[in-house]
Amino acid sequence: MKSGQMKTLKQVMNYIRRYWLLVGLSLILAAVTVILTLYIPILTGDAVDLLLGKGAVDFDGVFGIMKTIGIAVAVTAVSQWVMNTCNNHITYHVVKDIREDAFHKLEQLPLKYLDAHAYGDIVSRVIADVDTFADGLLMGFTQFFTGVLTIFGTLGFMLYTSIPITLVVVCITPVSFLVARFIATKTYTMFKEQSETRGEQTSLIEEMVGNQKIVKTFSREEAVKKQFGEINGRLQKCSLKAIFFSSITNPATRFVNSLVYAGVGIFGALLAINGGIRIGRLSCFLSYANQYTKPFNEISGVITELQNALACAARIFELIDEEPQVPDSPDARVLSNAGGNVKLENVYFSYTPDKKLIENFNLNVKPGQRVAIVGPTGCGKTTVINLLMRFYDVDRGCIRVDGTDISKITRGSLRTSYGMVLQETWLRAGTIKDNIKMGKPGATDQEVIEAAKASHAHSFIKRLPKGYDTVITEDGGSLSQGQKQLLCIARVMLCLPPMLILDEATSSIDTRTEIRIQKAFARMMEGRTSFIVAHRLSTIREADIILVMKDGNIIEQGNHETLLNKKGFYANLYNSQFAR
C-alpha cells in the first residue's frame, strides 16, 4: 500500500475510533455469529449420524439436537441483526462526522481558496465522494470482520482434522491475497481518475444547469450537450476501466480457490489411497476448504471496494487538511459598538505576488464619515471591501478600527460591525422572512416588517402569494434583480450595525425606489461610518471623502470640490459621466 493510502487509512481510523465501543460490540457479535454458523453444520451432521437406518433412529437424540439447532439459529439471527445495525450506525456516523468536519473546514477556509476553486468540485467531494466512501466502509464492516473470523474459525477446525492437508491450503491461499492486492493497487489510480473526471463533470453540470437560461438564450444547448458528451465519453472510458479491472478480483481469487479445492482433492485422495486419512474426514475437509476460501473472495471484493472508498476519502481529506485561515488569536478583541474610526496605514495588498495592486495606501476615516469609492469599472473597488471585511488579509501595513489593528479583533465581531450590501445579491432557499432575519434570527415579525418597510421591500413582499412566508428558491428564483436587492437591504436594515459597506448596492433598483432607499440610507448612515462603491452623483457629492481608484491603486483622495479643482482624473471622470 502506498504511503498516501496509509495516511488516508490512518485518518479514517481516527474517525472510526470514536465509536470503539460499537466496534468492539460488532466484533464480539461477529465472532458469535461465525462460531455458531460453523457449529450448526456439525450439529446437523451429528443429527444425521443418528439416522442410522430402518428402525435404528434415535428419536430422543434427534429431538435434543433439533432443539440445540433451534437455539443456535435464534442466537445467530439476533446477533447478526444487532451486528449489522451497529455497523450501519458506525458507518453513517463516521460519514456524518467527516462531512461535518469538511463543512467546518469550508467555513474556515480563506476566501482565497474558495475564490480559486470550482464550487462543483468541492460539492462533489462533500457529497458524491463521501457517499462512495460510505458504501465502501459499510461493506468493509459487514464483510471484512466476518470474513476474517470465518477464515480463522475454519482454520482451527481444519487443523483439528488434518495438519498436512491444512498446510497445503495455507500455502496456496496467500496467492489469492497477492492477486487481490495486485489488482487493487492497479485499480487505485483508475478509481482516482474516475473520481476526478466525475468532479469535472459535476463542475460542468453545476455551471450549465445553474445558468441554463443563458445557455438557452444563445441557443447553445447543442454545443453544451456536446461538451457534456465529451466529458461523459471520457468518464465512460475510465469508469469501464476501473469497474472492469476491479471486478476481475473476484473471478481471479475464485480461481485460486478452485486451485485450493483441486489441491486438497488430489493431495487428500493420494493420502487416502495410502491410508493417511479416512474418506469421511476428507469429505468433511473438502467442505471446510470451501468454507475457508469463500471469505477470501469476499475480503478481496471488499478490498477493491475499500480502495475505491480510500480514493474518495483521500479527496475529501484533501479538503479537510487544507490550511484554514489564521484563527483569531485568543487575546483578540471583541469589537462591540464600534465607534467607527477606520484607519488604513501603509497598506500593501495583491492577490498574486507577481501582480502588484494596492501599494502604500493611507486613509483616515473619522466616525460617521462617508467614503465614496469611485473609478472606472474593474479598478479594484471590491478589493477595498475584501480588505475592510478581512476576507483577505493585507500583505503589509495595517487597518485599524477604533485604534485596534483588525488582525487583533475577532473576525466575527469585526464583520458584524459592518452592514454589507454586495453588488451580487445572494439569497438562500427559504422563506422571505428567514432571509431578512439572517442577521438577527431572534427578530420579531414586527421588526422584520419594519425593516422591510424601511427598505421599501414591504410592498412587493405583501403582493407575493404567501407574503413573508413565501418560499424562494436558491438565488431568489423568480424575484427580479431589484427585488432581490431590496431584500438584501432589508436584511442589513434589520440589524443596523455601526458601520456600512455598500457595494454598488442600488444599481439595479429603479430610480424612484432608489430615492426612497437613499432617504432611508441617509437616516441609517447618520452617525455611521460608511463605505460606498458609488456610481450616483448625489452619493459622491455628499461624501466626506472620495477615493478615486484606477488599476487597483488609489490615485486621488479628497472631497468633491477639492478633487474638481485639482482638474485631475476625477475631474475628467466627472465631466465625461455627465456630458450630455
| Span 65-104, contacts to other proteins by CB under 8 A | 65-66, 69-70, 73-74, 76-78, 80-81, 84-85, 87-89, 92-93, 95-96, 99-100, 103-104
Q: What is the pairing mode between strands 370-374 and 358-365?
A: unpaired
Q: Interface mask (CB under 8 A) for other proteins, residues 166-205, using x and -?
A: --------------------------------x--xxxxx
Question: Which segment (160-168, 171-179, 220-228, 363-371) binds other proteins by CB under 8 A?
Answer: 220-228
- Write down the least CB distance from residue 6 to other proteins, Å: 27
The site that binds other proteins (CB under 8 A) totals a number of residues, namely 172
Distance CA 348, CA 346 (A): 7
Q: HSE on the CB side for 111, CA within 13 Å?
A: 10
H or E stretch at 430: strand 430-431
- Interface residue with other proteins, options 224, 398, 555, 564 (CB under 8 A): 224
174 vs 412 by CB, closer to other proteins: 412
Place of cell 457529497: 127
Among 35, 62, 159, 555, binds other proteins (CB under 8 A): 62
Residue whose cell numbers read 467555513: 107
Q: Contacts with other proteins in 323-352 (CB under 8 A)?
A: none
Note whether 269 binds other proteins by CB under 8 A.
yes
Instruction: Return the number of the residue (258 or 329) whose C-beta is nearest other proteins.
Output: 258
Least distance in angstroms from the C-beta of 449 to other proteins: 19
Residue whose cell numbers read 466476518: 146
- DSSP tag of 475: G
Between 235 and 398, name the residue whose CB sits nearer to other proteins: 235
Residue of 5, 8, 26, 132 interacting with other proteins (CB under 8 A): 132
Q: What is the rounded distance in angstroms from the CA atom of residue 47 to the CA atom of residue 69? A: 10
CA distances from residue 229 to 203, 244, 318 in whole angstroms, order as listed: 14, 22, 28
Should residue 251 be labelled a site residue for other proteins when binding is judged by CB under 8 A? yes
Give yes or no for a contact between 36 and 72, defined as CB atoms under 8 angstroms apart.
yes
CB 436 within 8 A of CB 490: yes
Shortest spacing between CB 395 and other proteins, in angstroms: 19
Report the site for other proteins in 352-411 (rule: CB under 8 A): 374-378, 380, 382, 389, 391, 411
Residue 8 beta carbon to other proteins: minimum distance, rounded to whole angstroms? 21
Q: Are 149 and 29 in contact (CB under 8 A)?
A: no
Nearest distance from residue 242's CB to other proteins, in Å? 9
The answer to whether the CB of 359 falls within 8 A of the CB of 313 is: no
Please select the residue that binds other proteins; options are 3, 10, 59, 561, rule is CB under 8 A. 59
Site for other proteins in 458-487 (CB under 8 A): 460, 463, 465, 473-475, 477-478, 480-483, 486
User: Residue 400 corresponds to which amino acid?
Assistant: R
Report the distance separating Cα 358 and Cα 384, nearest Å.
9
Residue 455 is classified by DSSP as T
The C-alpha cell of 105 is what?
473546514
Site for other proteins in 411-440 (CB under 8 A): 411-413, 415-416, 418, 420, 422-424, 426, 428-429, 438-439
The H or E element that residue 578 is part of is none
Q: Which is nearer to other proteins, 3 or 579 (CB)?
A: 579
- DSSP code for 273: H
Which of 223, 326, 334, 471 binds other proteins (CB under 8 A)? It is 223
Q: Which is nearer to other proteins, 31 or 205 (CB)?
A: 205
The interface region with other proteins, picked from 2-10, 162-170, 251-259, 445-453 by CB under 8 A, is 251-259
d(C-alpha 258, C-alpha 263), whole Å: 8
Q: Which long-range contacts (CB under 8 A, 24 or more apart) does 162-168 make?
A: 162/268, 162/277, 162/281, 162/285, 164/267, 164/271, 164/276, 165/264, 165/267, 165/268, 165/271, 165/277, 165/285, 168/260, 168/263, 168/264, 168/267
Contact pattern for other proteins over residues 505 through 534, marking x by CB under 8 A: --xxxxxxxxx-------------------
Q: Closest CB to other proteins among 3 and 222?
A: 222
Report which DSSP code applies to 367. T
Q: In the complex, what is the shortest distance from the CB of residue 147 to other proteins, in angstroms, rounded to a whole number?
A: 12
